[in-house]
């Protein structure tokens, strides 16, 4: 399995905001399923949708978009901003309590990891370290979330996606996506949410319901 890691100096995630002729293209460059994990059906269950990023407006719109994708596939999508107060986001223990009281069964987390990446082979990375527990991952990710802003001539955006089963406090699926020169932030995040929903459906973690 190939896992992407951020390289270079820490800094803001740069998005190209110029009008581009070509449509945005989001690729899943790496995916992972927990070894031996039985299929999980989140139909009719609440699944949280979270984006770890400093931009509050972007976070709200992206979480709403992802929640709609989960709704369309039989789960009850719940944007994380509706569950955890903004001032408590960086407190993993408080966040855990809010999700538990809201009855959230699963949690999909999107995290911007950077624009420049190198590859590292590690078949256990998503089941070890702070990845192995949803609230350790949550706490570590919010210590230094990337900000979105600025611009550049050519930008490659890398986003990490994890699905946690909160009943077991364990990751069951993960992926890394990459997109080059997105047209704008809002459009990019909505397309990413749609693509994540499709991929979760393809991997039999959620299923589309008839309307």
Span 161-172, pLDDT tens digits: 999 999 999 999
Domains located in the chain, CATH noted = 2-202 (3.30.160)
Closest among 141, 158, 115, 181 to 50, alpha carbons compared = 141
pLDDT bin (cut points 50, 70, 90) of residue 39 is: low
Percent of the chain with pLDDT over 90: 43
Closest among 146, 117, 136 to 52, alpha carbons compared = 146
Element (H, E) at 172: strand 170-180
Asked whether the beta carbons of 133 and 170 are under 8 A apart, the reply is yes
**Structure-derived torsion over alpha carbons of residues 115, 9, 118, 177, reported in degrees to the nearest 10:** -30
Ranges 4-8, 48-52, 141-145: which has the least confidence: 4-8
pLDDT bin (cut points 50, 70, 90) of residue 110 is: very high
When computed from its CA atoms, the radius of gyration of the chain, rounded to whole angstroms, is: 16
Report the chain's mean pLDDT, rounded to a whole number. 78
């Amino acid at each position: 399995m190939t896992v992407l890691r951020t390289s270079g100096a820490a800094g803001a995630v740069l998005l190209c905001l110029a009008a581009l002729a070509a449509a945005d293209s989001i690729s899943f460059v790496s995916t992972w399923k927990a070894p031996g994990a039985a299929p999980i059906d989140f139909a009719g269950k609440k699944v949280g949708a979270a984006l770890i990023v400093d931009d509050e407006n972007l976070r709200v719109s992206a979480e709403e978009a992802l929640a709609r994708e989960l709704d369309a596939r039989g789960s009850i999508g719940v944007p994380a901003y509706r569950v955890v107060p903004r001032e408590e986001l960086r407190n993993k223990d408080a966040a855990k309590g809010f999700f538990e009281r809201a009855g959230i069964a699963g949690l999909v987390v999107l995290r911007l990891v950077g624009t420049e990446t190198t590859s590292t082979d590690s078949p256990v990375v998503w089941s070890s370290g702070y990845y192995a527990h949803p609230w350790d991952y949550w706490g570590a990710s919010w210590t230094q979330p990337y900000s979105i802003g600025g611009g550049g001539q050519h930008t490659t955006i890398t986003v990490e996606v994890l699905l946690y089963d909160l009943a077991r406090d364990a990751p069951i699926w993960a992926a890394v996506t990459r997109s080059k020169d997105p047209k704008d932030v809002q459009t990019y995040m909505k397309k990413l949410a749609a693509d994540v929903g499709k991929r979760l459906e393809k991997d039999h973690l959620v299923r589309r319901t008839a309307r």
